[in-house]
Chain A
Amino acid sequence: QVQLVQSGAEVKKPGASVNVSCKASRDTFTDSAISWVRQAPGQGLEWVGQIIPSFGTENYAQELQGRVTITADESTGIAFLHLSSLRPDDTAVYYCARVAGHLTWNYFDYWGQGTLVTVSS
């Protein structure tokens, strides 16, 4: 059974940075990509970026380039989302999700439970 377990809610001030973690079973990381998707309150889904832990290959949404970094530690099965220079409109639930199969781009077959990041002064 694939499980993705995320870290707890965060409250940050504008300009600060946040790290969100996503713990997966070791099998989940093998040759699979992990994506991050966010959802602002009452809004739709927005792809943030992804990493293929086996190769270290990263891709990011253009709107967040320069502020977002995704890393992964294969030995522990943990992926990390780092978002810097936080703004109030970064307030959202952040989900990690496994990319199905062994493709760079594919649908998401398993999701974490979500982590609420609140940016407020």
Chain B
Amino acid sequence: EIVLTQSPGTLSLSPGERVTLSCRASHSVSSGRLAWYQQKRGQAPRVLIYGASSRATGIPDRFSGSGSGTEFTLTISRLEPEDFAVYYCQQYGSSVSFGGGTKVEIK
């Protein structure tokens, strides 16, 4: 099983700031088969990025993903008020597993 570790657990930021979230895998994720989701309180997750760097339909270009192997990153270039949420990474190269999440909260 591939274990995903996200860091940090919580980020306190202000609107307009740039944010970088990390997702580290215990084993290499084949072919960059990694996705990022955003989840707001009381809602189902929503896919932002798949294939490590491809934006899902309708996702603003302030969201970008990068990485390969065991190190992946989600970057939000400029935080909007609606971006304060919890973010999860998911690998689907070997079965499926999720990271523990990073909460982005308003400072």
Contacts and interface: CB of A to CB of B under 8 A. Distances in A.
Q: Do A and B come from one complex?
A: yes
Interface of A: 35, 37, 44-47, 50, 59, 62, 95, 97, 100, 105-109, 111-114
Tell me the dominant secondary structure on chain B's binding face. loop
B99 A106 contact: no
B95 interface: yes
A111 B92 contact: no
6 contacts: A44-B100, A47-B95, A59-B95, A97-B44, A105-B95, A109-B47
A56 to B, nearest CB: 18
Contacts of B98: 37, 44-47
B88 A45 contact: yes
B93 interface: yes
A109 B92 contact: no
Interface in B86-107: 88, 90, 92-101
Nearest to A103: B92
A113 B50 contact: no
A107 B90 contact: yes
Nearest to B4: A44
B33 interface: yes
A100 B35 CA distance: 12
